[in-house]
Amino acid sequence: MSEGLSVILATAGAGGTIAAVRSLGARGFDVNVVSSERLGAAAWSRYAKRTFSAPPESDSPRFLERLLAIGRSNPGHILLPTSDETAWIYAENAAMLQPHFRLYHPPLSSLRRILDKKLFSDAAISAGLAVLPSWDPTSLEELAALAPNLPFPILIKPRTHVHRVRNDKGVVVSSPEELIRQYRSFLDREQERVTDTPLLPDAKRPLLQQFVRVRSEGVLSITGFIDRSTELFVTRAARKVFQRSQPVGVGVCFESQPSPEHLPDLIRHLCRELGYFGLFEAEFVWFDGHWAIIDFNPRMFSQVGMDISRGMPLPLLACLDAIGDSASLCLEVAKAQTQDDRQAVFRDRFTLRAILVAQVLTARISNQEFRKWYGWMKQHAGHAVDFAADRDDLLPGIVHAFSEVYLGLRSLPRFMRAKPRAALPTRRVFNESM
């Protein structure tokens, strides 16, 4: 079913792209990688047939120009979104891309309701899901009037990650004065956005959301696939147990777990409400007696490799739906639905170790917590899936390590200025609300 099929994937430094390149390449697909950086780990995989250099995805006009040039010279690739930015670029420019690629993404109207966090929250409520309390002041004057009555701490949350200057997840504030100061700083920074679009008119203005202190239940991640007809649907669940930064940040470690019984059906309802199809990650936190949805990623995500290892080959499912191979897709989804959801963890081992060492050296965690996490790695070594490291495909792991060292050196001054977390209790799960 993969004979003669070719796929093109961008965001070469992302864990989801690395996993997709390996999985599809091992199944016989010709996998091509568009890399915007020298240290894009997926571009170094032995399963990558060809690598194309490109401008940064955040520079969407130049990235699109390069992609069109690739498509004209090499027509017929299946084009799968690998980031919020590429998901938006592909949908917004579908008419130009369609003659050269096999596109696989929902309509732009669906993506707008997903990638604009305010519109997404409204859609989630319509689908019957719980959400966190949030506020959307339209001016600094409105913010000043609202601030004294908010239930602090509050998360200042980017409305979207499309065309952003800085791809952070927001900042937590503890007082009205800090809220107004940080809100102003956010607005000033986002005025420098490279590109604006009338389809995201409020993108520069952040949202306010009640910040939830996540405890032992962790951040719940439900990942899966839904086809164009919305009849074929499969999910897995995991718990995020370690993240890059606190109190909000990108996940570094996940543990598999059974899914709460009612949530997959609600996510399916949400996808239908949004008109969405493809692979996805939905994130939840426990709040006020319910699992409240905090994010929905309509593309590849970091821990795709763990889902593949648990019998849910998400990149393959997307490709089969993209080419209209309904028979093979039904067979693969049925297998994924019945296959045992074995125990597994996902971790970025190099990054986890680097963070732990840095935190010990700067007195941000205790030696006891340091030893606990090394014990966690040893305990799960037999069923762990790594972000990039793989004995059968060594170079991506090495390149990823160099990339992390480079990023770590660049962020060292900011890390040293951050306050120690000595006052926080020792827990496996960091605090997060997104």
78 domain-assigned: yes
In 3-state terms, the chain is what percent helix, strand and coil (to 5)?
A: 40, 20, 40
Model pLDDT, residue 198: 65
Measure the CA–CA gap between 284 and 35, rounded to whole angstroms.
Answer: 31
82 domain-assigned: yes
Please give the C-alpha separations between residue 376 and each of 82, 203, 357, in angstroms, as whole numbers. 29, 40, 15
Same domain, 93 and 13: yes
- Token pair, residue 126, equals 């319509």
Same domain, 89 and 139: no
127 domain-assigned: no
Measure the CA–CA gap between 221 and 243, rounded to whole angstroms.
Answer: 13
Measure the CA–CA gap between 85 and 302, rounded to whole angstroms.
Answer: 15
Model pLDDT, residue 216: 74
Same domain, 138 and 76: no
Q: Look up the CATH number of the domain holding residue 159.
A: 3.30.1490
Task: Give me the residues paired with residue 237 across strands.
Answer: 222, 257
Last residue of a domain, one of 195, 210, 225: 210
Model pLDDT, residue 433: 41
Model pLDDT, residue 119: 95
143 domain-assigned: yes
Q: Look up the CATH number of the domain holding residue 100.
A: 3.40.50.20
Model pLDDT, residue 428: 40
Number of CB atoms found within 10 A of residue 258's CB: 8
Same domain, 11 and 98: yes
Same domain, 31 and 90: yes
Amino acid code (one letter) for 351? T
| Domain boundaries, position 166 | 133-210
Same domain, 150 and 91: no
Same domain, 17 and 95: yes
Model pLDDT, residue 341: 67
265 domain-assigned: no
Model pLDDT, residue 95: 98
How would you write 129-174 as a 3-class SS string? Answer: CEECCEECCCCHHHHHHHHHHCCCCEEEECCCCCCCCCCCCCEEEC
Last residue of a domain, one of 193, 210, 227: 210
Task: Give me the residues paired with residue 35 across strands.
Answer: 53
Model pLDDT, residue 4: 77
Q: What are phi and psi of 234, to 5 degrees?
A: -150, 145
Number of structural domains (the chain) is 2
Beta strands, E only, 17-158: 30-35, 48-53, 77-79, 101-103, 130-131, 134-135, 154-157
13 domain-assigned: yes
Q: Do residues 333 and 40 touch, judged by C-beta distance below 8 A?
A: no
Model pLDDT, residue 398: 98
Using CB atoms within 10 Å of the CB of residue 363, give its burial: 0 to 12 exposed, 13 to 18 middle, 19+ buried.
exposed
Same domain, 138 and 99: no
Same domain, 197 and 141: yes
Per the document, the length of the chain is 434
Q: What is the DSSP string of 402-419?
A: HHHHHHHHHHHHHHHHSP
Structure confidence by residue, pLDDT tens digits, 289-303: 999 999 999 999 999
Same domain, 72 and 142: no
370 domain-assigned: no
Last residue of a domain, one of 159, 192, 210: 210
Structure confidence by residue, pLDDT tens digits, 175-212: 999 999 999 998 888 776 545 566 677 778 999 999 99
Question: pLDDT below 50 — which residues of the chain?
Answer: 194, 421-434
Same domain, 28 and 74: yes
186 domain-assigned: yes
Same domain, 90 and 157: no
